[in-house]
Structure 1
Amino acid sequence: MTATVAELTRELVAVPSHEDETAVGDEIEAWLRRETAADVTRDEVGNVIARKGAGDRSLALVGHHDVVEPDESQLEADGEYVVEERDGRLYGRGTADMKGAVAAAMLAFRDAEPAGELVFASFVGEEVGGVGARRAIDEGFAPDYAVVGEGSTGYSSPGVTDVAVAHKGRRASTITARGTAAHASEADAGENAVYRATDAVDVVRDLEPPAVDAAGETLAGSVVVTEIEGGRAWNVVPDRCEVTIDERTVPGERAALERVEEFEGVEWTVDQDLPPMRCDDREFAETVLEAADAAQSGSPELVTKPHATDAGWLSEAGTECVICGAAEPGEAHTADESVSIDVLGRCEETYRKVAESWPR
């Protein structure tokens, strides 16, 4: 039996999962079958889902076991991941994002006497657009409530694990302007695609991104031109120009980027759309906050996060979500990624307390 959240985190982190999550999914599935009497399933894409307890409403503890590509310093000679403990922290790819929180959720799931149906879910493909979460939802995964273990530590003050009740989404899109090529010495014989693209960019610059209130804060969207490419020679009027847009979305309205298509020869396409999240059940959010408060000496708050998570897909499908996890701002995806062992224990306790008090 794995005794501590630190030991289980070490076991999960050591298994590579940036190209193929199968092996670490095997570890999670085997542990759940060995340590619990829950109904454990594994779907075709590799999501691991377990259920126990009963009731009219369900609570899910949600994470993901894929990671981004590790730095060379995070790899052992045999291809496994380096996991080191120093000064009360575990270092290695996936410690913060987010195998540590997955380990905490596994232990809480095992030990809790749930108030209703309790679900554990660890998804694949979060880092590449929520592949696993979307597949699970398409196959009927629909908990009433979810605590998603993405990072929420250090938002209100250093070292405090807060509860995030909203986050932004991300819509990536491309403006494609087409014209007619001509020799630059006879520019009027063509239609300059770069000029058409810059007309569209002027529209983007003038857009007012929407904003919403959440947790006493204003969660504001943004729209930014991040790349532009056009032309093929210094003496040719360009017949094509592409502009890349990074848009951070909020629940509700979107920036009216479709307006750029009012220009002749301009087309707008959406390449990726990761949904935002906002919890509209204040009682649920306060219950998770009370559990987090009881598990630590600091005073957690309801906060917002700037980036998208699988909570967005769940929220879009109708699940009331909050985010509560050990990772701190700036830890994920770094060459020295790490997580506090004490905070992992705090998360384990928080998840268990929520599972035993919610749904009410």
Structure 2
Amino acid sequence: MVHSKPSPATTPTATSATNLDLNGDVADLTATLMDIESVSGNERALADAIESALRKIPSLQVHRDGDSLVARTTLGRAERVILAGHLDTVPLPTTPGSRGTVPSAWDGETLYGRGATDMKGGVAVQLALAATLSEPNRDITFIFYDHEEVEGSKSGLGRLARNNPELLVGDFAILLEPTNGTVEGGCNGTSRYKVRTKGVAAHSARAWMGENAIHAAAPILQILADYQPRTVNVDGLDYRESMNAVRINGGIAGNVIPDACEVEVNYRFAPDKDVAAAEAHVFELFAGFDIIRTDGAGGARPGLQHPVAAAFVAAVGQAPKPKYGWTDVARFSDLGIPAVNFGPGDALLAHSDNEHVTRGAIHECLAALRRWLSAEL
């Protein structure tokens, strides 16, 4: 058995890891993973438990970088696929009576709790495959990474790509984000902007002495209200775009005419354009206003024309759909690896106070991947 050892800089502090049963029911494994709270920044205990389980599998080479893990088979197959999932969740809900918290809870065949859909069901499927798929038809790289639910600069997947790009080499990648068991190809890009107006401060009792910057932002809102987002066909899938105001800041007191206002705009754009092209579109739309881009991440084309991707879609047996939100398939696309989203659960339930997934959905996801990775080539 060969294991690569993490460098001293990334070796985690020794802890008593939870024992994970990778050979039992994958839905019960999901519940166990959910019971290990792993809000972004607190993934260590879950990473420890997964590392302990993976290092018991003789066929895997295991590497750890901080709270991210890579486990690889080296069977000499003609193709290598990547199965990836993040370990972190958004913060726990504070609403009294919420069912999207920790620990998890079963209600019949439905599992409630934080991470049920986003995305510990997908992580459980990865682990079950790692433990039970002894002779896959392709070599497999399993990636479990930290800090997906926060700013991109903290991403464990991004860190792995910088520190150990050789571990992320592959012919095709599947990100086990929730898709209701349907392949979702590529993803939209996203960018954020601040469109700003200036005025002159004055006492609100003598408003005529000033210029109201909030009032001056009315044309910005009108542009957004009138905007007709496009639907763009990219490689056979229709990606719906959107542009919206998501935050407005202005004013300092209840009796002061505001001298500054800032409208934050989020543009979700189809993967036919990059961040620069998206920025050019937004700047043209708001010509004459003071505007800056504060964030941006390109999307990913679906890549379904690649033979390995087509074989996977055939194994799932459902027509693929576009992914409207941004996901880490874009990071794989940047590495030249075609990637899709495919996982158990409804993405609309992610981050909700009612987050849940059914036992059947987790079983079906595992069965589809096992079918594809076991079929004769």
Fold in common (TM above 0.5): yes
Task: Name the structure 1 match of 2:12.
Answer: none
- Structure 1 residues 51, 354: closer, same or farther in 2, change over 3 A? same
- Structure 1 residues 267, 17: closer, same or farther in 2, change over 3 A? same
- Report the alpha carbon displacement of residue 23 of structure 1 after superposing the two structures with TM: 0.4
Indicate the SS of the match to 2:177: coil
Q: Distance in 2 between matches of 1:150 and 1:37?
A: 26
Q: Deviations over 1:210-257 (max 9, x none)?
A: 532157552121111233222335665432111011222210232611
Q: Does 1:35 align with 2:57?
A: yes
Calculate percent identity across the aligned residue pairs.
Answer: 27
Task: Name the structure 1 match of 2:369.
Answer: 351
Counterparts of residues 40-79 of structure 1 (less than 5 Å):
40-44=62-66, 46-53=67-74, 54-55=76-77, 57-71=79-93
- Structure 1 residues 263, 183: closer, same or farther in 2, change over 3 A? farther
Task: Name the structure 2 match of 1:150.
Answer: 177
Q: Does 1:12 align with 2:33?
A: yes
Unaligned runs of at least 5 residues, structure 1? 154-160, 294-299
- Structure 1 residues 36, 90: closer, same or farther in 2, change over 3 A? farther
Task: Name the structure 2 match of 1:108.
Answer: 129
Q: Distance in 1 between matches of 2:350 and 2:310?
A: 27
Q: Which amino acid in structure 1 is aligned with residue 213 of structure 2?
A: A
Question: Could you say what the CA RMSD is over the residues aligned between the two structures, in angstroms?
Answer: 3.0
- Equivalent residue pairs, number: 340
Q: Deviations over 1:129-168 (max 9, x none)?
A: 4512222222313433111111111xxxxxxx21111332
Task: Name the structure 2 match of 1:280.
Answer: 303
Counterparts of residues 101-250 of structure 1 (less than 5 Å):
101-110=122-131, 111-130=133-152, 131-139=155-163, 140=165, 141-153=168-180, 161-182=181-202, 192-194=212-214, 196-205=216-225, 209-214=229-234, 216-233=236-253, 236-250=256-270
8 Å contact 2:178–2:344 — kept in the other structure? yes
Q: TM-score, normalised by structure 1?
A: 0.82
Q: Which amino acid in structure 2 is aligned with residue 167 of structure 1?
A: C
Q: Which amino acid in structure 2 is aligned with residue 47 of structure 1?
A: S
Tell me whether 311-320 or 232-241 shows the greater mean CA deviation.
Answer: 232-241
- Report the alpha carbon displacement of residue 7 of structure 1 after superposing the two structures with TM: 2.8
Q: Deviations over 1:12-35 (max 9, x none)?
A: 111010140110011111111113
Q: Distance in 2 between matches of 1:345 and 1:225?
A: 40
* TM superposition outliers: structure 1 runs of 4+ over 6 Å: 184-189
8 Å contact 2:117–2:345 — kept in the other structure? yes
Q: Distance in 1 between matches of 2:92 and 2:256?
A: 43
- Report the alpha carbon displacement of residue 185 of structure 1 after superposing the two structures with TM: 8.0
**1:307 aligns with one of 315, 318, 325:** 325
Q: Does 1:333 align with 2:355?
A: no
Q: Which amino acid in structure 2 is aligned with residue 168 of structure 1?
A: N
Q: TM-score, normalised by structure 2?
A: 0.79
Task: Name the structure 1 match of 2:16.
Answer: none
8 Å contact 2:178–2:341 — kept in the other structure? yes
Unaligned runs of at least 5 residues, structure 2? 1-20
